[in-house]
Amino acid sequence: MDADQIEFRNALGLFATGITVITSMDGDTPMGLTANSFNSVSLDPPLVLWSMAKSSSMLSAYQKAPGFCIHVLGSDQQELSNRFAGRAEDRFANLDWQKSQLGLPLISGCVAHFECRSEHQYEGGDHIIFVGRVESYAADAARPVLGYHRGKYVEIP
């Protein structure tokens, strides 16, 4: 990355976000990644978006998958964020998860989750933008969430 790109990335990093883990199935194998590109799009119909780096080893599997599940992490789940940004083969090892009604990996203990059918995919430079239709969700509004700001984790009360 050259100096201009670092400056651009640092400027973008001033925009504080939450942290999510986005899971799906590659055939019979669960997959997932940490993502802070999640955002809401539409209430009616209920749509959300996130973007995936084209360089990801999981890109084609996510492009083929019928849906994905977005998990919002709590402030006590930094380890989970690091795990899903780390070595891909270790991500579900000894993790408490089950298959949802849509057949998507549902990780226990998160602050909220949104189960989505994959509705649109758009070109976005070095990323692909995924838009999902929320089919079901659950949320624990009382818990503090994990945030990300200036390249560091922060607690959002």
Site residues for ligand FMN per CB under 6 A = 19, 33-37, 50-53, 56-58, 84-85, 88, 148
Buried b (16+ CB within 10 A) or exposed e, 118-131: bbeeeeeeebbebb
Q: Work out how close the CB of 101 gets to ligand FMN at its nearest, in angstroms, rounded to a whole number.
A: 25
Whether residue 152 contacts residue 16, with contact meaning beta carbons closer than 8 Å, is answered with no
Residue 77 one-letter amino acid: Q
Q: Work out how close the CB of 100 gets to ligand FMN at its nearest, in angstroms, rounded to a whole number.
A: 21
Q: Work out how close the CB of 51 gets to ligand FMN at its nearest, in angstroms, rounded to a whole number.
A: 6
Q: Is the CB of 34 or the CB of 142 nearer to ligand FMN? A: 34
With 0-12 / 13-18 / 19 or more C-beta atoms within 10 angstroms meaning exposed / middle / buried, residue 150 is: exposed
Q: Is the CB of 35 or the CB of 69 nearer to ligand FMN? A: 35
Q: Work out how close the CB of 59 gets to ligand FMN at its nearest, in angstroms, rounded to a whole number.
A: 8
Q: Is the CB of 24 or the CB of 36 nearer to ligand FMN? A: 36
Q: Which H helix or E strand runs over 153? A: strand 152-156
Q: Work out how close the CB of 99 gets to ligand FMN at its nearest, in angstroms, rounded to a whole number.
A: 21
Q: Is the CB of 34 or the CB of 77 nearer to ligand FMN? A: 34
CA–CA dist 80, 86 (Å, integer):
10
Phi, psi of 14 (to 5 degrees): -70, -20
| Token output for 146 | 């994990």
Q: Is the CB of 53 or the CB of 131 nearer to ligand FMN? A: 53
